[in-house]
Structure 1
Amino acid sequence: MPEVPPQMQVMTVIQPGKNSYLQTGWQSVPQPAPDQLLLKVKAAGVNRADLMQRQGLYPPPAGESDILGLEVAGIVVQVGTEADEHWLGKTVFGIVAGGGYAEYALLHKGHAMTKPEHWSWAQAGAAAETFLTAYQLLFHLGGLTAGQRVLLHAGASGVGTSALQLATLAGAKVAVTVGRADKAEACLKLGAELAINYRCTDFAEQLTGHWPAGADLILDPVAGDYLQNNITVLADDGLIIIYALMGGRLIEQFDLAPMFKKRGKLICSTLRNRSNQYKAELTKGFVTAFGEQMMHDRFAPILNQSFHWNNAQQAHNIMINNNNIGKLVLEF
């Protein structure tokens, strides 16, 4: 294995807040704890959580790296004392609680997944956070089964396109909401049976006409004003899972009565602050359920664009303006 240098380049946040910007800097290469792997990073996914962390709204969990980046792909160059040495030299990808925007990053041994040979580094860097989030929401929390109806808001996002693929493979019926015609077209090509442009029509009215019985499961990163319409289109005994607050955290004049009538359930979910054991079990569950299909190219992350990691600000600007279909990735 190549010798690991003492210092590495990282992308740092200058002036955290609304006027923050990104700049390269230097830090010491982290040393793996007994249960960790050290990766030479080849690619790192860009996620909306990175934008929130820049603004000071989503700090890393205690003890984790304050460097941006929640998913990485790379080559294992060092292993902790409790990690199997068979990982050395292997090409892997996985979720991290921070530290992805750097030349080297630490990955818990239970969070490492083998990179499919047919995937590029950019694809591997774009896969872990969105597919594990989608798997968690759809199956671990949502209990999705074949034939059920799923509504995905932000259907063309990284999580949206990942959830669309997994739900379709599981035999579910999928509808999505999007903000542009090209995003609707992309989702239909991935298997959605209905793609609603919320800028042109009322999604609740259109979905009710398409699915009179309602959606069994709704995955919502918007919240805010969407919640009341979510209840309108929810099936009896249905479940709404909110996993982000893009539309705001406050809801005025919210009426719970329709939720009671439908015996509806509401869950709020995050992944970053879960325990390492939870994430390891989630990773194992995903690989057990979908690993073979992943290796046989039955699904893959949808890439919008990849950037040299020095151009991280450009990638962030695209995400800020909601111009991406699928994932944005930094390559090293």
Structure 2
Amino acid sequence: MSEQMRVVEISTPGGPDVLKPALRDIPEPGHGEVRIQVAYAGVNRPDALQRAGLYNPPKGASDLPGLEASGTIAAIGDGVTDWAVGDPVCALLPGGGYAEQVVTPAAHCLPVPDGMDLKQAACLPETFFTVWSNVFQRGGLKAGERFLVHGGSSGIGTTAIQLANVLGARVFTTAGSDEKCAACLALGAEQAINYRDADFVDVLREQGGADVILDMVGGSYIARNIKALADDGRLVQIAFLQGPKAEINFAHLMMRRLTMTGSTLRPQSDLAKARIAADLYEKVWPLLATGRIAPVMDQEFTLDHAADAHTRMESSQHIGKIVLKVG
């Protein structure tokens, strides 16, 4: 009989209460893969979408939720030369993070930055891969440009604010309370707009428009984002909390030379993710090691209380990242 591990699985599509503790066989790493003894797993919006039946894992991936984790290398597959058993790592996962052990491509692992513990490190992969690839690689944000990120107090938002600020951009953000706006300002935002009190379109147009907008809201925000962009601006879409459909006037894209782009991380090829990891290691990991940027932590839950973690995330009361303590 195979050795087993504790996991949290999705018993049926639905709300947080469908997350149930279970036992599964410990997975074995294949060629180019490592198995990680999980210490902490990050909790992210895509986990909730998968739980609700709206975001199926890619072919061959674990059906367990969890797209990032930290821990130590427990086993290595054939062809892996960059890691050894016992190495502390954080990793982007194709799934399976809500478990005591998880398998992922070795090229998607990164070392735990100097001075950072495993709890903090678990908060890095999903948000930093997403922000770096979308804001800087796809959106081309440069020093001196005006950058607007919606949902500034989220894990994505707190990461985007810090990275954009430390790399020289002027950062604007939206949030839903004065407390959240204050947190965004403390992270380096030039202006935090409480969307209940002010219109971000008016604020950004007064500044000359945003050069890059990172949006996860969609719906009615899509047309408003286009209005808030400067000429030659870039709108980068990474999620659709208000839905993926909108009516827009494409003449504005032509007349003002706008660019609309976006991506989802999970379905991308292993090679594409490995290239993002390499870029992060070269350009962002030194900033983490020196403390110039750091993950913002909200709350910790045990693995068996994953449902409570999802309830917390979907309440939108959190500021920063939520983690599950596994090991």
Query: 1:89 and 2:83 equivalent?
Result: no
Letter in 1 for 2:35: L
1:262 positional shift: 1.1
Match of 2:68 in 1: 71
1:261 positional shift: 2.0
1:319 positional shift: 1.0
Query: 1:223 and 2:218 equivalent?
Result: yes
RMSD in angstroms over aligned alpha carbons? 1.3
1:12 positional shift: 0.9
- CA deviations on 1:267-322 (whole Å, 9 max, x unpaired) are 12111000010000000001111121211111111111111111111110011111
Distance in 1, Cα, partners of 2:154 & 2:224: 20
Give unpaired runs (5+ residues) of structure 2.
Answer: none
Match of 1:22 in 2: 19
Letter in 1 for 2:221: Y
Distance in 2, Cα, partners of 1:205 & 1:139: 25
Checking the alignment, whether the CA contact within 8 Å between 2:138 and 2:262 is kept in structure 1 is: no
Letter in 2 for 1:71: E
Out of 122, 127, 133, the residue aligned to residue 130 of structure 1 is 127
Normalising by structure 1, we get a TM-score of 0.95
Match of 2:115 in 1: 118
Checking the alignment, whether the CA contact within 8 Å between 2:113 and 2:285 is kept in structure 1 is: no
Match of 2:291 in 1: 297
Checking the alignment, whether the CA contact within 8 Å between 1:13 and 1:20 is kept in structure 2 is: no
Secondary structure of the residue aligned to 1:87 is: coil
Distance in 2, Cα, partners of 1:18 & 1:92: 31
What is the count of residue pairs matched by the alignment? 325
Q: Pairwise mapping of residues 34-73 of structure 1 onto structure 2 (< 5 A)?
A: 34-73=31-70
Distance in 1, Cα, partners of 2:182 & 2:213: 20
Checking the alignment, whether the CA contact within 8 Å between 1:94 and 1:111 is kept in structure 2 is: yes
Distance in 1, Cα, partners of 2:113 & 2:297: 16
Distance in 1, Cα, partners of 2:199 & 2:37: 47
Checking the alignment, whether the CA contact within 8 Å between 1:79 and 1:85 is kept in structure 2 is: no
Distance in 1, Cα, partners of 2:301 & 2:189: 29
Give unpaired runs (5+ residues) of structure 1.
Answer: none
Relative to 1, partners in 2 of residues 1:292 and 1:117: Cα closer, same or farther, differing over 3 Å? Answer: closer
Relative to 1, partners in 2 of residues 1:265 and 1:53: Cα closer, same or farther, differing over 3 Å? Answer: same
Checking the alignment, whether the CA contact within 8 Å between 2:31 and 2:78 is kept in structure 1 is: yes
Match of 2:171 in 1: 174
- Deviating beyond 6 angstroms after TM superposition, the runs of 4 or more aligned structure 1 residues are none
Secondary structure of the residue aligned to 1:196 is: strand
Checking the alignment, whether the CA contact within 8 Å between 1:20 and 1:55 is kept in structure 2 is: no
Letter in 2 for 1:322: S
Secondary structure of the residue aligned to 2:248 is: coil
Percentage of identical aligned residues: 39
Normalising by structure 2, we get a TM-score of 0.97
Letter in 2 for 1:307: F
Checking the alignment, whether the CA contact within 8 Å between 2:300 and 2:322 is kept in structure 1 is: yes
